[in-house]
Homo-oligomer: A and B are copies of this chain.
Amino acid sequence: MSLKGTRLRCGLLFSPSMPTETRPILPRLLLGPGPSNVQPRVLAAMGQPLLGHLDPAFLAILDEVQARLRRVFGTRNALTLPLSAPGSAGMECCLANLLEPGDAAVVGVAGVFGERLCEVARRIGARVTRVECSWGEALDPGEMRSAINKVRPRVVALVHAETSTGVLQPVAEIAQATREADALLVLDCVTSLGGVPLRLDDWGVDAAYSGTQKCLSCPPGLSPVSFGERALRRVRRRKQPVQSWFMDVGLLGAYYGGGARVYHHTAPISAIYALAEGLRIVEEEGMAARAERHREAGRALITQMQALNLVPLVAEPLRLPPLTTLRLPAALRGAAEAKLRRRLLDEHGIEIGAGLGPLAGEVWRIGLMGENAQRHCVERLAAALRALL
A contact set with B: CB distance below 8 Å: 8-12, 19, 21-22, 24-28, 30, 32, 34-38, 41, 43-53, 55, 57, 64, 84-89, 92, 96, 116, 119-120, 123-125, 211, 213, 219-221, 241-246, 264-271, 273-274, 276-277, 280, 284, 345, 351
Contact = CB atoms under 8 A, between A and B. Distances in A.
A353 to B, nearest CB: 9
B44 A86 contact: no
A9 B50 CA distance: 12
A11 to B, nearest CB: 5
Contacts of A119: 245
21 contacts: A8-B44, A10-B10, A10-B44, A12-B44, A21-B64, A21-B276, A25-B49, A28-B49, A28-B50, A30-B52, A35-B53, A35-B266, A37-B50, A44-B47, A53-B220, A86-B268, A123-B241, A123-B245, A124-B243, A125-B243, A220-B267
Given A85-B85, A245-B119, A28 B47 contact: no
Contacts of A22: 41, 45, 277, 280
Given A220-B268, A284-B19, A25 B11 contact: no
Contacts of A88: 245-246, 264-265
Contact of A266 (B11, B84, B211, B266): B211
B269 A35 contact: yes
A28 B12 contact: no
Contact of A46 (B116, B123, B266, B270): B270
Contact of A10 (B11, B24, B51): B11
A350 to B, nearest CB: 10
Contacts of A50: 25, 28, 30, 35-38, 213, 219
Nearest to A274: B270
Contacts of A277: 22
Given A35-B266, A92-B246, A124-B243, 6 more contacts: A21-B280, A25-B57, A30-B52, A46-B47, A219-B270, A268-B271
Contacts of A89: 84-85, 246, 265
A49 B86 CA distance: 19
A338 to B, nearest CB: 12
Given A25-B48, A88-B246, A271-B271, A220 B123 contact: no
Given A50-B30, A51-B26, A89-B85, A220 B9 contact: no
Contacts of A10: 9-11, 43-44, 47
Contacts of A245: 88, 92, 116, 119-120, 123
Contacts of A12: 41, 44
A274 B271 CA distance: 11
Contacts of A273: 25
A224 B151 CA distance: 42
A38 to B, nearest CB: 5
Given A11-B10, A85-B85, A57 B266 contact: no
A63 to B, nearest CB: 11
Contacts of A276: 21
A12 B48 CA distance: 11
Contacts of A86: 84, 265-268
Nearest 4 Cβ contacts at the A-B interface: A221-B268, A219-B270, A85-B85, A47-B47
Task: Specify which of A38, A116, A219 lies most central, judged by the most chain B CB atoms within 10 Å of its CB.
Answer: A219
